[in-house]
Chain A
Amino acid sequence: MQAAIDADDTAPKLVLKHARERGDRPAFREKDLGIWQTWTWRQMAAEIRAMACGLAALGIQRGDRIAIIGDNRPQLYWAFDAIQAIGAVPVPLYADSVAAEMQYVLAHAEVKLAFCENQEQIDKVLSVRDQMLSLEHLIYEDPRGMRHYAQPFIHALEQVEAQGRAYDQAHPEFFEAEVAKGKGEDVAIIAYTSGTTGNPKGVLLTFDNLLNSARLASEMEKLSDREEILAYLPLAWVGDHFFSVAQQHVTGFTVNCPESSDTVMLDLRDIGPTFFLAPPAIFENFLTQIRIRMEDASWLKRKLVNFFLGVAGRCGVELLEGRRVALKDRLLYALGEFLVYGPLKNNLGYSRIRIAYTGGAPLGEEVFNFYRSIGLNLKQLYGQTESSAYVCIQRDGDVKADTVGRPCPGVELKITEDGEIVYKSPGNFVGYFKNDEATRETLDADGWVHTGDAGIIDDDGHLKVIDRAKDVGQLSDGTLFAPQYIENKLKFFPYIREAVAHGAGRDHVACFINIDLEAVSNWAERRGISYTNFADLASRDQVYELIGGCIEEVNRTLAQDSALRGSQIKRFLLLHKELDADDGELTRTRKLRRRIIAERYAALIEALYSERDHVEVESQVTFEDGRKGVLAADLKLREARTFGREATERRAA
């Protein structure tokens, strides 16, 4: 049995290993009650043991599915191991999803026990419980406000652990035995993809999938057990699971959990992680923050900062990649590091970062280069839930802004003749839960996963993801139309939060713009433009001009590329509401759900391709408390300036 435990082929086994090898190293920290409470690997192992036995005491069997719902709390991460330890399967859910969304997953996974963070989650689950016969138990971690919940099937984690310890006393062999039973090919988790289309699919990932790819990635990046990471991304997202769980279990580094979702920025600064993952939205957001805050700075300071950012723009990336740079620039950069970049990175909490990843969606080149130029080793990765997030990662010193780098060690990757990216990864999933047909579509007989992404492999063997294959289309005149490519260019502007480009089968490109409330309102204030709410602000002519300017810029760059010149944006409108995951317009990872948007805003799209200069719209919104409401508005439509060949050439000349 001991041999089986030492096999290190499942997460729980790895926990026991770390408890033995680095028992006093911190495994988890959480900002709670004002300080960073710390748990060593030994303590963590003990907690997990108690939890696991507690679950067993509640009658959880091998193979049962158990939902985990909540924000990034150590106890919830431990739940993964506890559940896996007794051979059950954790099913993480997005904490911010509304009850209806949860219901589907809970029902589909036939969840037997829901492991909730707090009253909020418990309430959501209870509200849809009657449709779920499988659900037998609820556990909550935070007792706040729970005293009036008399139902016998709701348990406090404390009690469960207490029972667990008792159970452990009674059956001292139990825990090790259960852990030993686990094997690498067992399903480790079912990760439901917040698919951009249709219902979520439950991706079955084994320990081998997760741990092997995590090992390869860690070796590649030379991760040690001294890394510090901040776990702030939804723990239902495979990306977070890969970093905060799989890689932690492999390398034994420390995971830090923020105090609350609205103190993440502060906590990031507190911890100063060495290894950092964030979706593009966050990097774009931070950059917007920087710009806004700098606008309020004194004239002199702005000049200074802009000057040095200029220097960085000239030579920052080169220096980062160790290429040759003129001495003058070297010195200037060094000075800039002290005066600007250093403090800047420090204020954001980046200064200790050795490796920063962005993934989940493409990141605008400009944003990407900005961070690299101030010395942040930011790298793009490409992965999917189906590959345990492990396909391509940019290598140090071999980074191109417009690619996601070469395939990771152990990954085979090719482009099918119709331009789709397919791969074989050690992380390849074993199938969709209870959905063989979908499995067959995605995972072909020879083990290739079909990504549904259109891409090319450039001469250096870097993968360049263009767009979702099905999104890439042509205008009526046959010119190539890659919406995401255009949208990302737009989203680089701090004033633009989201953009939706239309044009497939049309004679020109038009788009919806979601202004960035923070940036634009700030912009409006310094111009003394008063407004009542988002819709009002978005309807102001000045704002239309502002955005028009941004679009003009994008058109100019598009015009320089012969292939894309045709897909310049001719008309646009500013949406009266923010696209929102709660309204199903975005995925929980903020990807556009084009079909839904197209349906919901059909009227607007038609208007864009008509001669009209305004259009009434009614759209439903979901309020914080889950109530639905209707928002009516009268939107303006505007032309944007476009450029012909000669215009751009004159600029070039």
Chain B
Amino acid sequence: MFYREAGQFKTSYGADQAIFPIVQDRWFVGLVILLAYAVVPFVADEYMLQAILIPTLAFALAAIGLNILTGYCGQLSLGTGGFMATGAIACYKLMTAFPEMNLLVIFLLSGLVTAGVGLLFGIPSLRIKGFYLAVATLAAQFFLSWLYNKVAWFVNYAPSGTITAPPREIFGVLVTGPSASAEARYMFTLVVVTLFALIAKNLVRGPVGRAWMAIRDMDIAAEIIGFRPFQTKLLAFSVSSFYVGVAGAVTFAVWLGSVETAEAFDINVSFQVLFMIIIGGLGSILGSFLGAGFIILTPILLTNTLVIGLGMQAVTAKHIEFVVFGGLIIIFLIAEPLGLARLWQIGKEKLRLWPFPY
């Protein structure tokens, strides 16, 4: 309906392979970005930012990471929590060890550290097909949270075992620490996430992404046309871990400010992120955002309606949430394995063809 594509012809492969080849899409995306950057910070209140937007962004980053592994390369990880914890710890150690270091650099390094840790668990499990990675990452989940909990060095010997982000500035604006304003932290997160989302998009639409998808769709054929399954999967896994690590760092330093890793990044986080990509859409960057939003918002809505609205016990609401998520996962996998992103796409197609049905 809104699309007017006649006359949008492409005279170069560059234009033809752009992320948003259709003009109307570019407008729309531009609008959204404008909103996120120029409007939201001024209209959204503290709660909005702290409880919904910042977490959504942070988790979207994690979801992108897991999506790269699961959605694009067809491997499953249950250790997302553990790797986020790794990112958080790395970030903490670096922040405290090098007070002068730029926060972005610290995030990058945290990501790299996490990728390295990921390799340790990926190498033994990715050589063979099947669910071994799932188990290996489960191992990572339990082992790592144990490690950060038991070895005091990681938390700088803090008796409580919690790590707290010291205040840091970016371009003179305070973005971490208790006194950083929600707006500042939101903007910073937004910048980081947009940046990495763009990078992820570039990865998956290029040769690297094709290699991953080839392995996902039919590893035998992929190997026979010259892809190395092990290396390809390993690459996907380390990139994935990198993203998850950065997400962990952001969660810790910018969103929560101070965490007890074993608590904040337990196995349920792993499942949460997994649900984000299943509901949001396997193999879709957009889906990672939609999924994150969905998984963050649903519990809030449930609590508001059930607990505040119907005066139900919080714990029961939690259980209902379990059932809802579990059910949704099954329903989505059956009805629309490509999740919200796919629904979005279908809607878009309909608009493009309007008024014709096909």
Contact = CB atoms under 8 A, between A and B. Distances in A.
- Do A and B touch each other in the complex, judged by CB within 8 A? yes
Interface of A: 29, 34-38, 228, 269-272, 290, 293-294, 296-298, 301, 304-305, 338-340, 342-347, 349-352
A349 B9 CA distance: 11
B13 A297 contact: no
B10 to A, nearest CB: 5
11 contacts: A35-B13, A36-B9, A269-B6, A293-B358, A296-B358, A297-B355, A301-B355, A304-B355, A342-B4, A349-B6, A351-B7
Contact of A339 (B1, B13, B16, B356): B1
A294 B355 contact: yes
Nearest to B356: A293
B100 interface: no
Contacts of B6: 269-272, 345-346, 349-352
Among A37, A271, A342, A343, find the residue whose CB has the most chain B CB atoms closer than 10 A. Answer: A343
B14 to A, nearest CB: 9
Contacts of A346: 3-6
A293 B10 contact: no
Given A270-B6, A352-B7, 15 more contacts: A35-B12, A38-B11, A269-B5, A272-B6, A290-B356, A294-B355, A297-B355, A298-B357, A301-B355, A343-B1, A343-B4, A343-B354, A346-B5, A347-B353, A350-B6
Contacts of B5: 269, 346
Nearest to A347: B356
A301 B13 CA distance: 36
Nearest to A301: B355
A529 B7 CA distance: 40
- Interface size classification for chain B: 20 to 34
B160 interface: no
Contacts of A349: 6
A354 to B, nearest CB: 12
B8 interface: yes
A270 B8 contact: yes
B17 to A, nearest CB: 10
Nearest to A274: B7
Interface string B1-34: 1011111111111011000000000000000000
A338 B1 CA distance: 8
A340 B9 CA distance: 23
Contacts of A38: 11
B9 A34 contact: no
A271 B9 contact: yes
B16 A35 contact: yes
B357 A272 contact: no
A36 B13 CA distance: 9
B349 to A, nearest CB: 13
Nearest to A345: B6
A297 B5 CA distance: 21
Interface string B58-100: 0000000000000000000000000000000000000000000
A34 B16 CA distance: 9
A352 B5 CA distance: 10
Nearest to A293: B356
Contact of B355 (A36, A228, A271, A305): A305
A355 to B, nearest CB: 16
Contacts of A35: 10-13, 15-16
B16 A340 contact: no
Nearest to A37: B11
Interface in B319-358: 353-358
Contacts of B16: 34-35
Contacts of B357: 293-294, 296-298, 301
Among A38, A228, A339, A347, find the residue whose CB has the most chain B CB atoms closer than 10 A. Answer: A347
A109 to B, nearest CB: 37
B1 A297 contact: no
Contacts of A347: 353, 356
A307 to B, nearest CB: 12
Contacts of A305: 355
Contacts of B1: 338-339, 343
A231 to B, nearest CB: 15
A29 B7 contact: no
Contacts of B353: 347
A340 B355 contact: yes
Contacts of B3: 343, 346
Contacts of A297: 355-357
A351 B24 CA distance: 15
Contacts of B4: 342-343, 346, 351
A269 B352 CA distance: 12
Contact of A294 (B8, B11, B15, B356): B356
Contacts of A339: 1, 355
Contacts of A29: 9, 11
Contacts of B354: 343
Contacts of B10: 35-36
B28 to A, nearest CB: 17
A2 B41 CA distance: 68
A346 B351 CA distance: 12
A349 B6 CA distance: 5
Contacts of A343: 1, 3-4, 354-355
A614 B353 CA distance: 45
Nearest to A340: B355
A296 B10 CA distance: 31
Contacts of B358: 293, 296
Interface in B173-213: none
Nearest to B13: A35
A339 B3 CA distance: 11
A272 B6 CA distance: 5
A570 B212 CA distance: 69
Contact of B7 (A272, A298, A344): A272
A82 to B, nearest CB: 25
Nearest to B351: A343
Nearest to A33: B13
A349 B12 CA distance: 21
A343 B12 CA distance: 26
Contact of B13 (A34, A269, A270, A340): A34
Nearest to A338: B1
A36 B11 contact: yes
Contacts of B7: 228, 270-272, 351-352
Among B4, B13, B355, find the residue whose CB has the most chain A CB atoms closer than 10 A. Answer: B355
A269 B9 CA distance: 9
Nearest to A295: B357
Contacts of A344: 355
A34 B17 CA distance: 11
B237 to A, nearest CB: 34
A234 B98 CA distance: 74
B23 to A, nearest CB: 12
Contacts of A228: 7
Interface in B28-67: none
Among B7, B13, B353, find the residue whose CB has the most chain A CB atoms closer than 10 A. Answer: B7
Contacts of A338: 1
B134 to A, nearest CB: 40
Nearest to A304: B355
A270 B10 CA distance: 8
A402 to B, nearest CB: 29
A312 to B, nearest CB: 13
A500 to B, nearest CB: 32
A601 B159 CA distance: 103
Closest 10 pairs (CB-CB, A-B): A272-B7, A272-B6, A270-B9, A297-B357, A349-B6, A293-B356, A36-B11, A351-B6, A296-B357, A346-B6
A316 B216 CA distance: 54
Among B6, B7, B9, B11, find the residue whose CB has the most chain A CB atoms closer than 10 A. Answer: B6
Contacts of B11: 29, 35-38
A304 B354 CA distance: 12
Contacts of B13: 34-35
Contacts of A36: 9-11
Contacts of A272: 6-9
A351 B354 CA distance: 14
